[in-house]
Amino acid sequence: MPKKKTILILEDEHFTLKLYSHLLEEEGYEVFATPQANEALIMAKQHKPNLFIIDLMLQDGDGFSVIRQIRQTAGYKKTPIVVLSNLGQETDIREAKEKGATEYLVKSNIRFEDMIKMVKKLI
């Protein structure tokens, strides 16, 4: 049996974190989730996720710097990073992509089914 694909979610909003974790697990993914930027980087080293879902607004930092740190870590140059944020400004989207985000989703504009399709396409 093939190993489950793993996803690491970095999201500081508790309800959103639980909801996305649950729904992705129902799709057959192994999900690791944390609200803390520093913990996400430690978890990335431990679990070697196939995909990251990162919010930009965090309690202990910002998603932009997490994306940059992930991209600077050996083995994660090409790992898909999906930004899932309430920030919808063109400048935020451009900055996230410049730092290394693969895709950018605005929370208020995305349906869960669309995110699942994107996750399946990327991994």
Q: Mean pLDDT of successive 10-residue segments in the chain (123 residues)?
A: 88 92 96 95 94 93 93 92 94 96 93 90 95
pLDDT at residue 2 in the model = 66
pLDDT at 3: 79
Residue 50: its pLDDT value, please?
97
Determine contact, residues 45/22, Cβ cutoff 8 Å: no
- Residue 50 in any domain: the answer is yes
Residue 80 is given by DSSP the state -
| Distance separating alpha carbons of residues 89 and 75, to the nearest angstrom | 30
Angle at 56 between CA 95 and CA 98, to 5 degrees: 20
Range of the domain at 55: 6-122
pLDDT at 43: 95
Q: Report the CATH number at residue 111.
A: 3.40.50.2300
Answer whether residue 115 is part of any domain.
Answer: yes
Residue 79: per-residue pLDDT: 96
Residue 41's alpha-carbon distances to 44, 49, 68, 77, in angstroms, are 5, 11, 11, 14
Query: What is the rounded end-to-end Cα distance, in angstroms, of the chain?
Result: 17
> Domains in the chain: how many in total?
1
